[in-house]
């Protein structure tokens, strides 16, 4: 890595986290800050934070995890899109998979389709299942289509023709005729795979959020004209900002991916690659299970919509430091998913929030000392937190501390349930894994959650409060490409499959070279997606020339289901992962302790006694301390419960052990 200034930026629902690394090739000096997010214009806090650190006018290389695309989808604020498809298939997106969201209700609530019926247009072009062209729209029909689109006043167009992934030129012809009057998204480019509905949703999402992302990134670039900006993709890789808008659907899980990149790096560093990651921010909590690498899936969801694009396999719930606590009509205590967000924020922020939150409960129980500065600069108001919690306690018929304990217990149960979803429910024993906790609030709940899951080892990384931003710097530029085949595996010699992969590699290489990645630095991973003829589900296996791929699939199917079937094996898709070196090879900042700092003990209402308070960055590596103990750093606080001990390694990671 050259002597450039790197910046990792993670925009969350409550805080925007920024880390800046100077002179990374020679040890580097790391700067960090947290600023309150601005949902109306997420670029403002970014510029404000960089100005605060003194780097806004520098020639930065920025890697940015953004929730702009995600919020546009969840809030229904994407572009107005017209959907163009083959004759007779205009209702595909409305029909979907005909799955009931409320299974046991006799009267199902009316659900609005992704694209209104008057914006779903049909043309005569039709490709059949073997890739041959049954019918193609003439020039006059395409001119009429263009005129209809102009009359509908749409901003973007999603083109999803039947079996177009087998003959992509039919969609490209339509896109060429439409020109640059609209943002045009073709299914044969976005997701060239089977399953009409999922491909159509991906194409619509890409068209819907593409203009939103394009405007946002142009605004950010205009405010930081000397910066070179890349954006985190859902698969945990980065893409240059000038290419990101055309691949907007691949940014929908941009934010959480940075945390997993950091978790993978730290796991390798400390020799604990079997990890359950727990990222608790102000608005939500993200959990994932890692066995050495970032887990990917092609079956995630965003709100109501299936997301068939390769994405980090992460489970998200609406539980965070800002989750609001209230009592429902029958007297039950509820915590989340509604959040106080960045504005007004929890009551203790002193920004006008009046409802009790998880952060208020942690403050009143003493896990967060009253002198803590959130993000290193925002003072907290215990009086405001107490006022909000007293009202909740009155509704519950208990005292304030009991109400605060109840809020923490309910929040912990929500988060423990999420951890069980990605571990126990998938056949993994969490006791065999290490819990890696980060995010601004992660360290406050680490011990509680480990106990609920029977785990004995916890790691709270250095700079845990901004770890997702730091993870941006160790994320590789990359692409996830695919190609539908739909032929018996025995009909395809290795030479044919190899040529198809070479075509995908050439496409990935062109894109990555355009971002400045040397061709000889790119690493490729080839996979076949196979199934028995007649099946719907597929299994992926690695591909290399002259390997026994059919037998490898049989064995993989036995491991997955216990069955080996006598049916022919079908090659459904080719999948290619391309990776170039990350801006930063590893999160490898050696720790130099600044001298022993015992701090003054603080009274902890939760325990009814004084508890030690230490500055985390002044602990000598190897120091072993028993709980109860509170460890402070600029952007996060760690609560070490009684029955736990903590030691610090050479990188200042906290290693917790249940005693």
Q: Identify whether the C-beta of residue 67 lies closer than 8 Å to the C-beta of residue 39.
A: no
Spatial distance between the Cα atoms of 541 and 539, rounded to a whole number of angstroms: 7
Residues linked to residue 656 through DSSP beta bridges, in sequence order: 458, 646
Arithmetic mean of pLDDT, 225-235: 95
Q: In angstroms, rounded to a whole number, what is the distance separating the alpha carbons of residues 468 and 476?
A: 14
Query: Cα separation of 81 and 346, whole Å?
Result: 37
Residue written as tokens 């699939």? 553
Tally Cβ neighbours within 10 Å of residue 26.
9
Q: Is residue 324 exposed (0-12), middle (13-18) or buried (19+ Cβ within 10 Å)?
A: buried
Among 223, 204, 251, smallest CA distance to 42 is for 223
Whether the CB-CB separation of 323 and 413 falls below 8 Å is answered with no
* b/e 584-602 (16+ beta carbons within 10 angstroms → b): beebebebeeeeeeeeeee
Whether 2 shows a pLDDT value over 80: the answer reads no
Give backbone dihedrals phi and psi of 42, rounded to 5 degrees, phi first.
Answer: -60, -15
Q: What is the pLDDT of residue 599?
A: 65
Dist CA 544 CA 180 (whole Å) = 41
Q: Is the peptide bond before 398 cis (omega within 30 degrees of 0)?
A: no
What distance in Å separates the CA atoms of residue 312 and residue 238, rounded to the nearest whole number?
A: 13
The partner residues of 379 in beta bridges, in order of sequence, read 373
Supply the pLDDT for residue 590. 64
User: How far lies 449's CA from each of 266, 463, 533, 648, in Å?
Assistant: 20, 20, 44, 21
Percent of the chain that is helix, strand, coil (3-state, to 5): 35, 30, 35
pLDDT digit string (tens) for 578-607? 999 998 888 877 655 554 455 678 888 888
Same fold, 76-211 and 478-579: no
Q: pLDDT value at position 591? A: 58
Q: Given CA atoms 206, 207, 213, 214 in this order, what sign does their dihedral have?
A: positive
Separation CA 145–CA 134 (nearest Å) = 20
**What is the predicted pLDDT for the residue at 595?**
45
| Cα distance between residue 35 and residue 15, in whole Å | 6
Neighbour tally for 659: CB within 10 Å? 10
Strands of the sheet with 478-488, listed across from one edge: 478-488, 569-579, 523-532, 539-542
State residue 619's pLDDT score: 87
**DSSP conformation letters of 27-58:** T-EEEEEEEE--TT-THHHHHHHHHHHT-TTS
pLDDT tens for residues 297-310? 988 888 889 999 99
- CA-CA-CA-CA dihedral for 220, 221, 226, 229, to nearest 10: 90
b/e 42-77 (16+ beta carbons within 10 angstroms → b): bbbbbebbbeebebbebebbbbbbbbbbbbbbeeee
More confident residue, 100 or 328: 328
At the fourth CATH level, which superfamily is domain 5-73+214-254?
ATPase, nucleotide binding domain (3.30.420.40)
Cα gap 338→340, rounded to integer Å: 7
What fold, for 478-579?
Dna Ligase; domain 1 (3.30.1490)
Closest by CA position to 35, among listed 24, 46, 27, 43: 46
Helix (H, G, I), strand (E, B) or coil at 621: coil
568: left (phi over 0), alpha (psi -120 to 50) or beta: beta
Report the mean per-residue pLDDT for the chain.
91
The DSSP code sequence of 389-405 is HHHHHHHHTS-HHHHHH
Half-sphere exposure of 388 (CA within 13 A, CB side): 29
Tens-place pLDDT, residues 173-204? 999 999 999 999 999 999 999 999 999 999 99
397: how many CB neighbours lie within 10 A of its CB? 10
| Range of weakest confidence among 124-128, 209-213, 283-287, 311-315 | 283-287
617 — pLDDT class (breaks 50, 70, 90): confident
487 phi/psi in degrees, rounded to 5: -135, 155
Mean pLDDT of 499-522: 96
CA distance 645 to 203: 51
**Nearest Cα to Cα of residue 252 among 290, 301, 203, 215:** 301
Of 154-158, 253-257, 639-643, the poorest mean pLDDT is in 253-257
pLDDT tens-digit map of 76-111 = 889 999 999 999 999 999 998 877 777 788 887 788
Nearest C-alpha neighbor of 234 from the set 257, 204, 206, 214: 257
> In CATH, what number does 76-211 get?
3.40.50
Q: Which helix (H) or strand (E) holds 216?
A: helix 196-223
Query: Residue 26: pLDDT band by 50, 70, 90 thresholds?
Result: very low
pLDDT of the residue at 1: 43
Cβ neighbour number for residue 426 with a 10 Å cutoff: 10
Cis peptide before 280 (omega within 30 of 0): no
Strands (E), 258-398: 274-280, 285-291, 296-297, 300-302, 305-307, 311-312, 315-317, 323-327, 333-339, 373-374, 378-379
Per the CB < 8 A criterion, the answer to whether 95 and 89 are in contact is: no
339 has which bridge partners? 323
Exposed/middle/buried for 605, CB within 10 Å: 0-12, 13-18, 19+? middle
Closest CA to 257 of 461, 478, 76: 478
List the domain boundaries for the chain.
Answer: 5-73+214-254, 76-211, 478-579
Question: CA–CA separation, 342 vs 107, rounded Å?
Answer: 38
Residue 342 vs residue 172, higher pLDDT = 172
pLDDT in tens, 387-432: 999 999 999 999 999 999 999 999 999 999 999 999 999 999 999 9
Tokens 């997420």 sit on residue: 42
Angle at 70 between CA 68 and CA 71, to 5 degrees: 65
CB 481 within 8 A of CB 23: no
Residues 281 and 318 sit within 8 Å (Cβ to Cβ): no
Pairing, β 274-280 against β 285-291? antiparallel
Cα gap 502→499, rounded to integer Å: 5
Tokens 């109400």 belong to which residue?
403
Question: Mean pLDDT, to the nearest integer, of 329-336?
Answer: 90
């Amino acid at each position: 890595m050259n002597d450039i200034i790197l910046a990792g930026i993670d925009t969350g629902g409550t805080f925007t986290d920024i880390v800046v690394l100077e002179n990374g090739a020679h040890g580097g000096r790391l700067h960090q800050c947290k600023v309150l997010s601005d949902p109306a214009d997420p670029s403002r806090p970014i510029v404000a934070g960089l100005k605060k650190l003194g780097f806004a006018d520098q020639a930065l290389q920025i890697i940015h995890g953004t929730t702009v695309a995600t919020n546009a989808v969840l809030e229904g604020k994407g572009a107005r899109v017209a959907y163009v498809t083959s004759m007779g298939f205009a209702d595909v997106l409305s029909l979907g998979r005909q799955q009931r969201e409320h299974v046991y209700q006799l009267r199902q609530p009316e659900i609005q389709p992704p694209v209104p019926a008057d914006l779903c247009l049909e043309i005569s072009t039709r490709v059949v299942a073997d890739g041959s062209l049954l019918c193609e729209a003439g020039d006059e029909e395409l001119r009429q289509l263009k005129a209809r689109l102009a009359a509908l006043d749409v901003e973007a167009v999603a083109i999803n023709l039947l079996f177009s992934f087998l003959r992509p030129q039919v969609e490209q012809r339509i896109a060429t005729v439409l020109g640059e009057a609209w943002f045009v998204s073709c299914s044969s480019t976005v997701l060239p795979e089977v399953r009409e509905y999922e491909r159509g949703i991906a194409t619509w999402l890409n068209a819907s959020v593409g203009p939103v992302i394009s405007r946002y990134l142009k605004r950010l670039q205009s405010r930081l004209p000397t910066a070179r900006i890349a954006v985190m993709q859902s698969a945990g890789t980065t893409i240059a900002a000038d290419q990101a808008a055309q691949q907007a659907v691949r940014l929908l899980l941009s934010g959480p991916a940075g945390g997993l990149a950091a978790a993978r790096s730290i796991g390798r560093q400390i020799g604990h690659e079997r990890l359950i990651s727990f990222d608790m921010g102000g608005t939500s909590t993200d959990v994932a299970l890692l066995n050495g690498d970032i887990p990917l899936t092609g079956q995630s969801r965003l709100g109501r919509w299936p997301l068939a694009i390769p994405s980090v396999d992460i489970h998200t719930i609406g539980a965070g430091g800002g989750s609001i606590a209230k009592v429902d009509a029958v007297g039950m205590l509820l915590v989340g998913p509604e959040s106080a967000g960045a504005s007004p924020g929890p009551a203790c922020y002193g920004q006008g929030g009046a409802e009790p939150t998880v952060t208020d409960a942690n403050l009143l129980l003493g896990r967060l000392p009253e002198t803590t500065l959130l993000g290193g600069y925002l003072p907290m108001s215990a009086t405001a937190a107490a006022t909000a919690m007293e009202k909740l306690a009155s509704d519950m018929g208990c005292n304030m501390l009991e109400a605060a304990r109840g809020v923490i217990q309910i929040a912990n149960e929500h988060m423990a349930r999420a951890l069980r979803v990605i571990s126990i429910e998938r056949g993994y024993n969490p006791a065999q894994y290490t819990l890696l906790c980060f995010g601004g609030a992660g360290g406050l709940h680490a011990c509680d959650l480990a106990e609920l899951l029977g785990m004995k080892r916890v790691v709270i990384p250095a700079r845990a409060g901004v770890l997702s931003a730091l993870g941006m710097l160790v994320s590789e530029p990359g692409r996830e490409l695919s190609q539908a085949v739909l032929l018996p595996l025995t009909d395809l010699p290795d030479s044919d499959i190899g040529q198809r992969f070479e075509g995908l590699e050439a496409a990935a290489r062109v894109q990555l070279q355009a971002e400045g990645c040397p061709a000889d630095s790119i690493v490729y991973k080839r996979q076949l997606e196979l199934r028995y003829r007649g099946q719907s589900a597929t299994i992926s296996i690695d591909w290399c020339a002259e390997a026994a791929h059919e037998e490898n699939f049989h064995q993989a199917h036995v491991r997955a289901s216990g069955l080996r079937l006598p049916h022919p094996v079908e090659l459904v898709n080719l999948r290619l992962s391309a990776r170039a070196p990350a801006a930063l090879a590893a999160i490898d900042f050696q720790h130099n302790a600044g001298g022993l700092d015992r701090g003054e003990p603080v009274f902890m209402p939760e325990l009814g006694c004084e508890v030690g308070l230490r500055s985390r960055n002044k602990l000598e590596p190897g120091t072993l301390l028993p709980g109860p103990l509170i460890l402070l750093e600029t952007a996060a606080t760690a609560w070490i419960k009684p029955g736990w001990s903590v030691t610090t390694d050479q990188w200042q990671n906290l290693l917790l052990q249940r005693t």
